[in-house]
Structures are given as structure tokens and as C-alpha cells.
């Protein structure tokens, strides 16, 4: 009976902790994408702090931060345009999940830490840009190749420049003995996730660029050069949005299937200090 009471108390405290931390992450995302971005516009220009925010909250809270990131982006971008809010929310959720899978919480060597942080920053930025471009294309915000190029330009320089800030955050977490949900994949799993995301980005960009180029050609030119049947097929494909959707769904399902095949990461649910 006593064990049941302690277990119930631990679960209650765990849910409260997650709720508080989710609300905190939402606040961090909203402040970073509004107030901080406006204050630092003279330094970062139109760049986004989102990549640095994702890395920082993953360092602190692990994969559980993905809900707060998604909700914060939905609130921030949704104020201006609901499609942008939904696209960013999905992108933030996927990127935070991937970052949580690949992040290694501790390393004894500073050089190794910065190398690992750079790799995680690159993959997180690539995932953010790819997922944002994918959902942006679905909601008609911009073609995949345009959205991808813009996202990389806005995210990558600031994310890489913000790695020292992430290092300071990690140092504070270690100093305070802050516990986080550990969800690290095996080295093989990390490589495969990186390969899938990279293929998704490259194929999505290429398909989008090619179909947009085809769409800009007058229909009679396409039919005249490709022949009536082939020309009609090309014109029927249009912007190739269904191909973009198919590629994106395959990539996301492949990541889920991969993780299920190699084994889901171990989720720590007993990280409430003082509860045994």
C-alpha cells in the first residue's frame, strides 16, 4: 500500500514538473522569437534564434521539451498567419525530437563536446529547415526549395555562433545537478537518422526546384518538346506537391520505423530529485 502511495505521489510530481517545464519552454520560445529577436536585430539581422533555443532546451530538459517548443512556435507564428504557426510547430516538434535523440548529455573533453555540439547543431538546423520547408509547401506558404534555402540562411549562422551559449547552459545544468530525460540513440541510429534527414532535404529541394522550373515553361513548349503524352503527364504533375508530400511522409515514417527497429531510447521517468 505504501509503495502504491509513493508511486502515485511520484507520478503526480512528475506530471506537475513536466507541465511547469513545458510552460517554461513555451515562454522561452515566445520571448526568443519576439522580444530577443527584435532587440538583437542589429546584430543578427533577420536571423532566427530558434536553433540555439532548441539546443538549449534539449540540453536542459531532453526530448520532453518538444511539446513546449511546438506550442511556443504555434503561438508566436500563428499570431501573424495560422499556416506559418502550424508549419513551424510541426518543424519544431520534429527537430527537437531529433536533437533529443542525438544529443549526448555529458563528455569529459571540451574539444569533444564542441565537436559533438557542432554535429548536433548542424543536424538540428537541417531538420528544422527541411521540416519547415515541407510543411510550408503543404500549406502553400512557399515552394520547398525556397523555404529550405531561406530557413538555412536564417538559422545556420546563428545556431553555430550560439554553441558557446549552449555550452554555458550545459555547464549550469551540471553545476545544479539538473536531471533530464535521457533519450540518446546509439551511434548507428544517429548516423541513420542523419542520413534520412539529409536525403529528405536533398530530394525535396531537387524535386521542388525541378517541378517549379517545369511549371514556368509554357504548356505548348512542354508538349512540343516532350510529345503529347509525355507533355500531358508533366503538366498533370504540376508543381509536384504530391511528390513532395510523398517524400516527406516516407522520410518521417522511415525515422519512426528506424527507431522502432533499433530500439526506442530509454526514457528516464524517475528523475524527480528526492523521490525514491
User: For 212-263, how does the pLDDT look when each residue is reduced to its tens digit (9 = 90+)?
Assistant: 777 666 655 555 565 555 555 555 555 567 788 889 999 999 888 877 655 4
Q: How many domains does the chain have?
A: 1
Predicted confidence band of residue 163 (pLDDT cuts 50, 70, 90): very high
Contact, 51 vs 121, CB < 8 A? yes
Average pLDDT over residues 21-29: 87
Q: Does a structural domain hold residue 267? A: no
Q: Does a structural domain hold residue 270? A: no
Say how far residue 64 (Cα) sits from the centre of its chain: 13
Nearest residue to 88 via CA among 50, 45, 41: 50
Q: Does a structural domain hold residue 274? A: no
What domain range includes position 13? Answer: 2-262
Q: Does a structural domain hold residue 193? A: yes
Nearest residue to 147 via CA among 70, 91, 187, 79: 91
CA distance 39 to 153: 20
The yes-or-no verdict on residue 273 having pLDDT over 50 is: no
Q: Does a structural domain hold residue 276? A: no
Please give the pLDDT value at position 171.
Answer: 79
CA distance 60 to 66: 12
Most confident residue range from 26-35, 97-106, 149-158: 149-158
Predicted confidence band of residue 274 (pLDDT cuts 50, 70, 90): very low
Q: Does a structural domain hold residue 275? A: no
Contact, 48 vs 155, CB < 8 A? yes
For residue range 103-144, what is the model confidence (pLDDT) as tens digits?
A: 876 666 788 889 999 999 999 999 999 999 999 999 888 899
The yes-or-no verdict on residue 47 having pLDDT over 90 is: no
For residue range 53-94, what is the model confidence (pLDDT) as tens digits?
A: 999 999 888 888 889 999 999 988 777 778 888 999 999 999
CA distance from start to end of the chain: 15
Amino acid at each position: 500500500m505504501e509503495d502504491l502511495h509513493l508511486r502515485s505521489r511520484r507520478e503526480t510530481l512528475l506530471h506537475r514538473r513536466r507541465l511547469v517545464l513545458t510552460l517554461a519552454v513555451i515562454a522561452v520560445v515566445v520571448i526568443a522569437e519576439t522580444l530577443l529577436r527584435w532587440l538583437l536585430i542589429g546584430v543578427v539581422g533577420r536571423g532566427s534564434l530558434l536553433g540555439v533555443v532548441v539546443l538549449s532546451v534539449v540540453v536542459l530538459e531532453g526530448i520532453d521539451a518538444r511539446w513546449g517548443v511546438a506550442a511556443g512556435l504555434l503561438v508566436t507564428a500563428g499570431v501573424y498567419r495560422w499556416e506559418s504557426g502550424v508549419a513551424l510547430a510541426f518543424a519544431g516538434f520534429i527537430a527537437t525530437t531529433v536533437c533529443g535523440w542525438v544529443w549526448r548529455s555529458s563528455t569529459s573533453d571540451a574539444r569533444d563536446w564542441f565537436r559533438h555540439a557542432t554535429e548536433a547543431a548542424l543536424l538540428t538546423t537541417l531538420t528544422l529547415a527541411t521540416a519547415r520547408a515541407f510543411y510550408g509547401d503543404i500549406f502553400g506558404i512557399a515552394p520547398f526549395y525556397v523555404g529550405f534555402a531561406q530557413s538555412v540562411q536564417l538559422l545556420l549562422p546563428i545556431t553555430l555562433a550560439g554553441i558557446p551559449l549552449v555550452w554555458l547552459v550545459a555547464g549550469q545544468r551540471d553545476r545544479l545537478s539538473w536531471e533530464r530525460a535521457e533519450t540518446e540513440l546509439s551511434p548507428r541510429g544517429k548516423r541513420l537518422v542523419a542520413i534520412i534527414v539529409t536525403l529528405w532535404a536533398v530530394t525535396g529541394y531537387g524535386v521542388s526546384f525541378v517541378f517549379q522550373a517545369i511549371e514556368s515553361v509554357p504548356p505548348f513548349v512542354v508538349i512540343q518538346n516532350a510529345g503529347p503524352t509525355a507533355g500531358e503527364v508533366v503538366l498533370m504533375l504540376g508543381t509536384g506537391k504530391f511528390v513532395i508530400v510523398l517524400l516527406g511522409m516516407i522520410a518521417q515514417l522511415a525515422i519512426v520505423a528506424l527507431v522502432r527497429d533499433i530500439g526506442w531510447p530509454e526514457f528516464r521517468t524517475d528523475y524527480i530529485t528526492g523521490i525514491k
